[in-house]
Amino acid sequence: MIMTIPIPFEEFSIEQIEAFAENEFLIIDDFLPSEMAEKLLSELKFWRKENKFKKGGIGKSVAHTVAEEIRRDEIKWIDKNSCLPHTAEYLLYLEKLSSTLNRNFFLSLKDSEAMYAIYDKGAFYKTHRDRFKTQPHRVISVVLYLNPKWKPEHGGELIIHKEGKQKTDSIYIEPVYNRLALFRSELLHEVVPCHKRRYSVTTWLKDQLNEVSFLSI
């Protein structure tokens, strides 16, 4: 069951805590004040106009490579020290979210890394995990969707595959405007092909301080 909470984030409710503990994912609708969400989308589009996006790849450091058979999004990493003001404000929201997760689920989240992402028509990202051998410190994946007037026929859903003892359950999450999806980073998930340009900000909450640079995803 997907639980949506139509208020800006302040604190987890008892229902949200129970839902995340049971399901390992949570949806929060209307996560940001509407004006802030609009400004954040404008900042993302600004960097696209400045040609600062690049094709998303797989692997880390010297093993990093573009593999369009696996993913076809475009990304721009967010530098906390030089990002635009509303992006900086959004990252402060996520610091509060991290503190709340630490307090309620006894995690040890210490840092984050974030990027803007654009999926053009036909773009997808095949099934993968965000936490793996070369990225062992990603604990919680957080995706904020910035797609006004998104409709089911536009595709681009995030699908989380929960592996059980008997079967795998799939949860479909539509990338509607100002919706926040958070889930444990070890869960298998994918993005199905988009039929319209799709915008988001993806963040990983980590249990270790970041290194100097981001060279992979």
pLDDT in tens, 30-70: 999 999 999 999 999 999 999 999 999 876 655 567 778 99
Please check whether residue 198 lies inside any domain of the structure.
yes
Looking at every residue in the chain, the average pLDDT score rounds to: 89
H or E element that contains 199: strand 198-206
What is the Rg, in whole angstroms, of the alpha carbon atoms belonging to the chain?
16
CATH of the domain at 186: 2.60.120.620
Residue 199's pLDDT band, with cuts at 50, 70 and 90, is very high
Residue 213 falls within a domain, yes or no?
no
More confident of the two residues 162 and 123: 123
Residue 2 has pLDDT above 70, yes or no: no
Q: Which residue has the tokens 């696209």?
A: 48
Domain with 53 in it: 14-206
**What is the rounded CA–CA span in Å between residue 143 and residue 121?**
19
* Reported pTM: 0.89
